[in-house]
Structure formats: structure tokens, C-alpha cells
Amino acid sequence: MAKRIELKSIDVYYGKFKAVEDISMVIEPRAITAFIGPSGCGKSTLIRTLNRMHEVIPGAYVEGELLMDGENIYSDDVDPVKVRRQVGMVFQRPNPFPTMSIKDNVISGYKLNNNKMSKSDADDLVERALKGANLWNEVKDRLERPGSSLSGGQQQRLCIARAIAVEPDVILMDEPTSALDPISTAAIEDMAVELKEKFTVVIVTHNMQQASRISDMTAFFNIAGTGLPGKLIEYDKTEKIFSNPAQQQTEDYVSGRFG
């Protein structure tokens, strides 16, 4: 569980357009790593390379090496589907499956892959995952209701439960709280902190306070201008980035001078 991720000169393309250039960094296990930076600097693009979701977009590809506990997930003999089973992902907008109940949404990773499990195993798993996502108490009496009957914040936690139910090694979250109210946001932040006990957590956020509150490490990305690729400007302990960054750009961004 909880793998160490090492990026080695990663370039990410959408067809001819290079969106992200030359990223090398190490993402530590059992910690929260935050990606921050202005819009369009490639945070979403980069986080989607960590579970090979980037390449589902036609024409999109990645160059470089990405090691998970030493194994390059971009080597030719690796099946992207297998990678995604080990790296869960939570999206900006909650996207529970509308045809499934709350319960089926939680175990959708198994159901959709035709993995059979006994009813009691399924019930245990549903309870565990929903507790892990701080949602159990709110939904335990209506597990058969459709997932889309929940509020936005609950739906997002349902999506997190769905991601942790398949017991991945890494959890990626792309601005998971940007569409949510402050109370739901707090619930998800608390949960992220609990998740790092077991998983490697990577979170993209627009919210400086959020990054400083919950993350252990922070990576700041920036672009020199539109049409140019995003680059990693500074990567360090969160405290350092927010109190005493090495780069002027980082300082400007975290102090709210642009972005």
C-alpha cells in the first residue's frame, strides 16, 4: 500500500501542444502532496498522468518515466487499466453513476469489472468505505436510494468512497472541493487527512488555505504565458513554500499577488 511516486522528466502533450514540460519530482507515500498554481498551468494535466488517464483524450500522450515504487508505469508492457486499479481518482465535479444506488456506487469498482463478491463481504466493504469517506452516518438508512439523490458534498464523498473501496495505493483528487460549500469542504479536508494514513494522496487545489492546512508537501506550477508549457517552479515542504519560498514567483503566488 501507499506507493512512492517518482517523476523523471515528464513532458505531457495534447497532440502537438506541449501542456507540461520537464517535470521531475518525488511524491512521498503516506503524505498529502498539493499541486498549486494559476489556471491553465497544467495541474489537472499532470495529475491525470499519474493514473494514465491523460491518454484517454484522443491524441494525448506522455513522454518520460513515471516510477511507482520503482516500476515505470509508462513502460510498454504495462496495461493502463491495471494502473488505474491501483491509483484512484476523484474529479472536480462529483460524478456518481446515475443508474446505481448509493451502495452500488460504492462497490462499482468491483461490479463494473464483473468481480463477484458475497453479500456480506459487499455490505462490509460498503460500510468500511463509507465510514472512510465520512459518509456512513448520513446515508446508512438509505443505501438503496440513487446516488444522485445526495447533495453535492455528499456525492463527492460518495465518489471518494467509491475510489477507496477498490483499495488503491494512491488517491488523486483534482480540485475535489471547488464545487462544494464550506461545510462539505471541511468534511472532505478532514477525510483527506485520515486517508494519508493508508494512501499516497495528491490533491490539486486553487485554495491556498486548503493547501497549507492539509498538505505535507506543496508543488507550485506556473506558465510563462499562454501557449507555453507549464513548469514546476518550486517543490518543498508546505511550511517552507508558504512561509519562506525560494522563488519570487512562488512568493507572489502564495501571497495572492497573482493567480
Partner 1 sequence: MAIISTGFQASASLPRWFTPAALVGSFSVALAVFTLARTPSEGGTSLVGVGFVGFALYLLTVAIVSRLVEGRRKAADRLITSLVTAAFALAVIPLVSLAWTVVTNGIARLDADFFSMSMRNVVGPGGGALHAIVGTLELTLIASLISVPVGIMTAIYLVEYGRGKLARAVTFFVDVMTGIPSIVAGLFAFTLFLVLLGPAAAINGFAGSIALSVLMIPVVVRATEEMLKIVPNELREASYALGVPKWLTIVKVVIPTALAGIATGVIIAIARVIGETAPLLLAAGFTTSMNYNPFSDKMMTLPVFVFTSFANQGIDTQSYLDRSWAGALTLMLIVMILNLFARLISKFLSPKGA
Ligand X SMILES: Nc1ncnc2c1ncn2[C@@H]1O[C@H](COP(=O)(O)OP(=O)(O)O)[C@@H](O)[C@H]1O
Residues engaged in binding partner 1 (CB under 8 A): 51, 53, 56, 58, 81-86, 88-89, 91, 93, 95-99, 108-109, 111-114, 146, 148-149, 159, 162-163, 166
Coil, strand, or helix at residue 154? Answer: helix
Spatial contact of 108 and 100, defined as CB atoms under 8 Å apart: yes
Q: Does 41 bind ligand X (CB under 6 A)?
A: yes
How many angstroms separate the CA atoms of 18 and 62, rounded?
A: 10
Q: What, of ligand X, partner 1, Mg ion, none, does residue 154 touch, CB below 5 to 8 Å by kind?
A: none
Nearer of residues 51 and 250 to partner 1, judged by Cβ: 51
If we measure between CA atoms, which residue out of 183, 171, 30, 28 comes closest to residue 91? 171
Q: How far apart are the C-alpha atoms of 152 and 232, rounded to whole Å? A: 32
* Rounded Cα gap, residues 39 and 157, in angstroms: 25
Q: How far is CA 67 from CA 31, 164, 214, in A?
A: 17, 21, 25
Minimum distance, C-beta of residue 234 to partner 1, in the bound complex (Å): 29
Distance CA 101, CA 58 (A): 31
Under the binding rule (CB under 5 A), the answer on residue 44 touching Mg ion is yes
Nearer to partner 1, 44 or 218 (CB): 44
Residue 137 binding: pick among Mg ion, ligand X, partner 1, none (C-beta 5-8 Å cut-off by kind): none
Angle between helices 119-132 and 182-195 (to 10 degrees): 110
Among positions 75-114, residues that touch ligand X (CB under 6 A) are: none
* Rounded CA separation 12/57 (Å): 12
Question: Which partner from the list partner 1, ligand X, Mg ion, none does 212 bind, CB cut-off 5 to 8 Å by kind?
Answer: none
Give yes or no for residue 177 binding Mg ion (CB under 5 A): no
Minimum distance, C-beta of residue 211 to partner 1, in the bound complex (Å): 23
120 binds ligand X, rule: CB under 6 A = no
Nearer to ligand X, 42 or 176 (CB): 42
Q: Are 135 and 198 in contact (CB under 8 A)?
A: no
Taking alpha carbons only, the member of 164, 1, 23 closest to residue 68 is 1
> For ligand X, how many residues bind (rule: CB under 6 A)?
12
Please identify, using beta-carbon distances, which residue of 20 and 53 lies nearer to partner 1: 53
Structure-block grid coordinates of residue 210: 486548503
Residues of span 180-199 touching ligand X by CB under 6 A: none
Q: Does residue 144 sit in helix, strand or coil?
A: coil
Nearer to ligand X, 1 or 56 (CB): 56
Q: Which is nearer to ligand X, 39 or 137 (CB)?
A: 39
- Residue ranges that bind Mg ion, judged by CB under 5 A: 44
